[in-house]
Amino acid sequence: MPAKEFAFKLKLSDEQSRELAKYLNSLSPSNLLFGLRFAYSRQAAANGGYLMPGRKSMVKRETHLLSPDQAKWRLNNWKAMIRAYREKGYSYPTISRIKKQVQKIAGQK
């Protein structure tokens, strides 16, 4: 397939212009397209409101303010906690990570 030239105009600062030139000169067209596809999909997910944070953020969000007493209560009522986490849409591996952190806070491990 013959190569095609592609020209576009952007308003960039000098620093942004240098950075873009570095990427265009050092990356292959397939890698550039891969990066643009990723950035486009991420932006669409963020705009659509369905961009999910990483597991680590979910675990921290659920455990960072727990006191040892609260952590013990959660462990004693773990089946109810699983139900609540599943309703939030958490996967079982994420729930397992949350339980490990709760056990550390409760002082069981």
Query: Residue 27, Cα to own-chain centre: how many angstroms?
Result: 25
**In Å, what is the CA distance from 55 to each residue of 27, 52, 63, 90, 91?**
30, 9, 12, 9, 9
Q: Is 88 helix (H, G, I), strand (E, B) or coil?
A: coil
Binned at pLDDT 50, 70 and 90, residue 42 comes out as confident
Domain boundaries, the chain: 14-48, 55-106
Q: Which residues lie below 8 Å from residue 21, measured CB to CB, with a gap of 6+?
A: none
Give the model's pLDDT for residue 95: 94
pLDDT of residue 85: 93
Is residue 92 over pLDDT 90?
yes
The pLDDT-based confidence of 48 (bands split at 50, 70, 90) is: confident
pTM score, two decimals? 0.51
Q: Check pLDDT > 80 for residue 15.
A: yes
At residue 3 the predicted structure's pLDDT band, cuts being 50, 70 and 90, is confident
Region 83-99 average pLDDT: 92
